[in-house]
Amino acid sequence: MMTSKETGTQDSGSGLWKRLYGMIWLNVLTFILVPSLLIPGVVLSSTEGTILTGLHILVGAAVLGLAIYNMTSLEMTECPDRIKRISKVIVEMSVLASILGVIIAVGLWNLQTFCQFDLIRLMHLVVSLAIITQATSVATGYDMWEEKEFEPKKAEANPKPS
């Protein structure tokens, strides 16, 4: 159940935990849409490359939108502040990945040396991987909080001797 800070009421949680875990898989999809990451030496036709690039951009935009939506949804809960802070970082990393992706997509790397272009692509990849790791952290942390797994277990009244 999700509790709104303003009203103190609970709703069905609107599937927040599902969206948090969905964020992980949506990011994985962005990698699947770049076959050269998965299969070294793969060569695509220009049509295939254009379609996959377009889908990669759409899924990347969905990642950014979902990151923002998840962050605002988490802000309305009473979950630990650490989870909320990490969700804000995910949004910031998603913005950075988007900016780097635009630089790659529009060909601004032509203004730089080849080595710097590879660095931009590497940064785009590393930030995207970091989003997956942090999204996993947020999803697991929220799920554990929602299931009250952070609360200490009550000690037994008569502990058994060892």
157 found inside a domain = no
| 2 part of a folded domain | no
Residue 41 vs residue 99, higher pLDDT: 99
pLDDT mean across residues, the chain:
83
Tally of domains in the chain:
1
Q: Greater confidence, 24 or 112?
A: 24
- HSE of 105 in the Cβ direction (CA atoms, 13 Å)? 17
pLDDT in tens, 79-117: 999 999 999 999 999 999 999 998 888 875 555 555 555
Amino acid at 132: I
Domain housing 84: 15-146
Q: Does the pLDDT of residue 160 top 80, yes or no?
A: no
Q: How confident is the model at residue 9 (pLDDT cuts 50, 70, 90)?
A: very low
Residue at 117 is within a domain: yes
Answer yes or no: are the C-beta atoms of 30 and 56 closer than 8 Å: yes
Q: Which two tokens stand for residue 151?
A: 């609360």
159 within domain boundaries? no
C-alpha pair distances (Å), 128 with each of 1, 39, 73, 90, 113: 30, 18, 22, 10, 23
